[in-house]
Amino acid sequence: MDIASVIRNVPDFPKPGIQFKDITTLLLHPEAHRQVIDTLAARYRENAPDALVAVESRGFIFGSTLAYVLNVPFALARKPNKLPGDTVSESFALEYGTDTVEMHVDALQPGWRVVIVDDLLATGGTVAAVTRLAARLGATVTEAAFVVELPLLKGREKLAPLPVFSLVSFMVE
């Protein structure tokens, strides 16, 4: 089925000028949800990564199921001050101000090859920061996977040379 057709566009959310790509409508279609997971699982089943790292919060929705299907460890990259154990953190620039992501210091083992999962690639700042977190833990990110990519925001270029995989692209800024 056409995944793009079940992703709702919400203009001017959360602020004027943003075309918010809402995946909650996709999740209401089991066939589309299954197609997302099956497509990602097919891509990573052979030569599966040592772990998946998913980004709070919509990355958790897809990452958790994918980790279950691939039968690999599932590590969380969270917003600040959510994780109870010892953490590493990385900040990154937003249009206005900065944001931060954190991981538990023992979430990844040195030498692991991991794939990052999030719902959407915009500027790439979030996943670039998660890539730095994984590197600080001694892991290597082999690919970043997204349901949606907004190519005009050039996240793929920002993440290069890291390979990027996405299921759907929308030509909006």
C-alpha distances in Å from residue 119, one per residue of 10, 24, 58, 163 = 16, 11, 6, 16
- Tokens 């998913």 correspond to 54
Beta partners for residue 100, in sequence order: 91
| Residue 121 binds ligand AMP, judged by CB under 6 A | yes
| Residue 168 binds ligand AMP, judged by CB under 6 A | no
| Residue 63 binds ligand AMP, judged by CB under 6 A | no
Please, what is the end-to-end C-alpha distance for the chain in angstroms? 25
As measured in angstroms, the least distance from the Cβ of 158 to ligand AMP is 8
As measured in angstroms, the least distance from the Cβ of 134 to ligand AMP is 16
Amino acid, res. 48: A
| Binding residue for ligand AMP, selected from 26, 44, 74, 123, defined by CB under 6 A | 123
Residues that bind ligand AMP (CB under 6 A): 18-21, 55, 58, 118-126, 155
